[in-house]
């Protein structure tokens, strides 16, 4: 199936090239003497015979280029391509000449031998340029593919680093209730099992919708609310237009964990955490706010694993197209505010 798809792409690309050259040839011949003019049928057949010959030779060229990438020295790599380029240029031109003779496209009488010979003499130098273009496009495609795989590997490593950290912290929370309140611990374990089922689902890739992320976050918040009881109040303020937005998985959980851990007010009052998501045109605005003492009085809260992981993933995925800020909100409310702004998209493929 994959080979068929690649064959369709290759023949489709060379068909497009043949049509462009056919249009050019039509205008060239129509502006010349009547004896030189050609019908559309002949022009298309002539161009397809030439460019579809290159469609046949594209696979061998790409296969050789794939083998040649193992040669690390540029001079040796070019030297390896030279004989292949010459052989391909001659063979492709000869193949084209044979096809044109077979379908009677030559204006003057030709034998198979003379048709092949004329095509080789006429096209072999031009075919060297086409060979260079095909090999160059293959190397460019391979470099882009390797870069994409490297980015994906980095993202997977970051998510893999975050998940155990998140799991260990949650288990530590539950362990405090095992002896004190077994029923509460049992309810928290049930919530954790649901959370893990969503988090480690094979169909849950590195990108999820905001709605899916909030569903996972809801299980985490429920565990923390069971732990802190009346001393924790978490509210969600989500723009319905933002629910379908695609975001990195586990993007909000580290920020909420940080807010809950450091957001408790000094006098032991109620810790309030607000999670907001707003769509503003082609931008998605996310906020996690708490009513704690702010970032200035937290020990490394802006550089822990969760926060540094979030920074790295956003930078890897969006580059300069994102904003991630940790600030203190002004009095009288006070507290800390984590703000994320990324391009809005509801298609995961945009970032893969």
In angstroms, the Cα distances linking 345 to 8, 38, 283, 292, 310 are 30, 50, 8, 33, 19
Asked if 280 contacts 242 with a C-beta cutoff of 8 angstroms, the reply is no
Which carries the bigger pLDDT value, residue 321 or residue 2? 321
Nearest to 213 by CA among 236, 189, 185, 186: 236
Task: Please tell me the predicted confidence (pLDDT) of residue 132.
Answer: 94
- In this predicted structure, the answer to whether residue 223 has a pLDDT above a threshold of 60 is yes
* Model pLDDT for residues 235-252, shown as the tens digit of each residue: 999 999 999 999 988 888
Indicate the burial class of 175 (C-beta count within 10 angstroms; 0-12, 13-18, 19 or more): exposed
- In this predicted structure, the answer to whether residue 31 has a pLDDT above a threshold of 70 is no
Residue 291 lies in a domain: yes
Domain shared by 23 and 109, yes or no: yes
* Model pLDDT for residues 35-58, shown as the tens digit of each residue: 556 788 999 999 999 999 999 999
Indicate the burial class of 208 (C-beta count within 10 angstroms; 0-12, 13-18, 19 or more): buried
* Model pLDDT for residues 83-99, shown as the tens digit of each residue: 999 999 999 999 999 99
What is the Cβ-side half-sphere exposure of residue 184, based on CA atoms within 13 angstroms?
Answer: 17
Domain shared by 13 and 125, yes or no: yes
Task: Please tell me the predicted confidence (pLDDT) of residue 96.
Answer: 93
Residue 22 lies in a domain: yes
Domain shared by 257 and 334, yes or no: yes
Task: Please tell me the predicted confidence (pLDDT) of residue 37.
Answer: 66
* 125: confidence class by pLDDT, cuts 50, 70, 90: very high
Residue 170 lies in a domain: no
* Mean pLDDT within 186-198: 77
The domain that holds 267 is classified in CATH as 3.30.565.10
Domain shared by 85 and 217, yes or no: no
Task: Please tell me the predicted confidence (pLDDT) of residue 159.
Answer: 56
Domain shared by 40 and 186, yes or no: no
Supply the range of the domain harboring residue 297. Answer: 176-351
Task: Please tell me the predicted confidence (pLDDT) of residue 300.
Answer: 47
* Mean pLDDT within 220-240: 86
Phi-psi map region of 235: left, alpha, beta (phi>0 left; psi -120 to 50 alpha): beta
Domain shared by 216 and 323, yes or no: yes
Residue 166 lies in a domain: no
* Model pLDDT for residues 285-294, shown as the tens digit of each residue: 999 998 887 7
Residue 168 lies in a domain: no
Task: Please tell me the predicted confidence (pLDDT) of residue 239.
Answer: 93
Task: Please tell me the predicted confidence (pLDDT) of residue 52.
Answer: 94
Last residue of a domain, one of 125, 146, 167: 146
Highest mean pLDDT among 118-127, 179-188, 262-271: 118-127
Which carries the bigger pLDDT value, residue 127 or residue 191? 127
Domain shared by 8 and 133, yes or no: yes
Task: Please tell me the predicted confidence (pLDDT) of residue 81.
Answer: 92
Last residue of a domain, one of 124, 146, 168: 146
Residue 165 lies in a domain: no
Residue 154 lies in a domain: no
- In this predicted structure, the answer to whether residue 352 has a pLDDT above a threshold of 90 is no
- In this predicted structure, the answer to whether residue 129 has a pLDDT above a threshold of 90 is yes
- In this predicted structure, the answer to whether residue 257 has a pLDDT above a threshold of 70 is yes
Asked if 327 contacts 337 with a C-beta cutoff of 8 angstroms, the reply is yes
Largest separation between any pair of C-alpha atoms in the chain: 102
* 21: confidence class by pLDDT, cuts 50, 70, 90: very high
Task: Please tell me the predicted confidence (pLDDT) of residue 127.
Answer: 93
Task: Please tell me the predicted confidence (pLDDT) of residue 48.
Answer: 93
Task: Please tell me the predicted confidence (pLDDT) of residue 187.
Answer: 80
**Helix or strand holding residue 41 (H, E):** helix 40-68
3-state helix, strand, coil in the chain (%, to 5): 65, 15, 20
Domain shared by 305 and 191, yes or no: yes
Q: For the chain, what is the domain count?
A: 2
* 59: confidence class by pLDDT, cuts 50, 70, 90: very high
Domain shared by 68 and 200, yes or no: no
Domain shared by 229 and 189, yes or no: yes
- In this predicted structure, the answer to whether residue 268 has a pLDDT above a threshold of 50 is yes
* Model pLDDT for residues 132-179, shown as the tens digit of each residue: 999 999 888 887 776 665 555 555 555 555 456 667 767 777 787 777
Task: Please tell me the predicted confidence (pLDDT) of residue 200.
Answer: 63
Domain shared by 212 and 105, yes or no: no
Pairing of strands 246-248, 271-280: unpaired
Tokens of 223: 């565990």
Residue 14 lies in a domain: yes
**Strand ranges inside the chain, DSSP E:** 207-209, 232-238, 246-248, 271-280, 283-290, 323-328, 336-343
Q: What angle do CA 223, 226, 230 make, to 5 degrees?
A: 135
Query: Model's pTM, two decimal places?
Result: 0.55
Which carries the bigger pLDDT value, residue 288 or residue 223? 288
* Model pLDDT for residues 283-323, shown as the tens digit of each residue: 999 999 988 877 765 554 555 667 887 888 888 788 888 99
For 13-26, give one letter per residue: b (16+ CB within 10 A) or e: ebeebbeebbeebb
- In this predicted structure, the answer to whether residue 130 has a pLDDT above a threshold of 70 is yes
Domain shared by 194 and 343, yes or no: yes
Last residue of a domain, one of 103, 124, 146: 146
Q: What integer best gives the mean pLDDT of the chain?
A: 82
């Amino acid at each position: 199936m994959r080979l068929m798809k690649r064959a369709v792409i290759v023949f489709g690309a060379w068909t497009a090239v043949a049509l462009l050259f056919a249009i050019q040839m039509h205008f060239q011949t129509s502006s010349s003497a009547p004896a030189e003019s050609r019908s559309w049928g002949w022009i298309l057949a002539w161009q397809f015979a030439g460019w579809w010959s290159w469609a046949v030779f594209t696979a061998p060229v790409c296969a050789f280029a794939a083998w040649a990438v193992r040669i690390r020295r540029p001079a040796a790599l070019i030297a390896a391509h030279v004989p292949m380029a010459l052989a391909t240029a001659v063979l492709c031109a000869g193949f084209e000449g044979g096809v044109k003779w077979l379908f009677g496209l030559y204006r003057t009488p030709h034998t198979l031998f003379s048709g092949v010979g004329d095509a080789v003499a006429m096209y072999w130098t031009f075919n060297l340029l086409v060979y260079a273009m095909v090999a160059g496009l293959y190397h460019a495609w391979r470099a882009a593919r390797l870069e994409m795989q490297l980015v994906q590997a980095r993202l997977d490593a970051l998510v893999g680093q975050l998940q155990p950290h998140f799991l260990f912290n949650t288990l530590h929370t539950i362990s405090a209730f095992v002896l004190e309140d077994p029923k509460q611990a049992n309810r928290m374990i049930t919530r954790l099992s649901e959370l893990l089922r969503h988090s480690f689902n094979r169909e849950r890739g590195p990108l999820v919708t905001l709605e899916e992320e909030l569903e996972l976050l809801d299980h985490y918040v429920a565990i923390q609310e069971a732990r802190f009881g009346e001393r924790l109040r978490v509210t969600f303020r989500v723009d319905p237009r933002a629910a379908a937005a695609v975001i990195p998985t586990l993007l909000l959980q580290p920020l909420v964990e940080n807010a809950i851990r450091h957001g408790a007010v000094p006098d032991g009052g109620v810790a309030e955490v607000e999670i907001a998501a707003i769509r503003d045109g082609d931008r998605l605005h996310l906020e996690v706010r708490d009513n704690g003492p702010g970032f200035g009085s937290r020990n490394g809260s802006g550089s822990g694993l969760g926060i540094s992981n979030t920074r790295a993933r956003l930078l890897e995925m969006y580059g300069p197209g994102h904003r991630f800020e940790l600030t203190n909100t002004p009095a009288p409310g006070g507290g800390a505010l984590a703000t994320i702004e990324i391009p809005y998209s509801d298609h995961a493929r945009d970032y893969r």
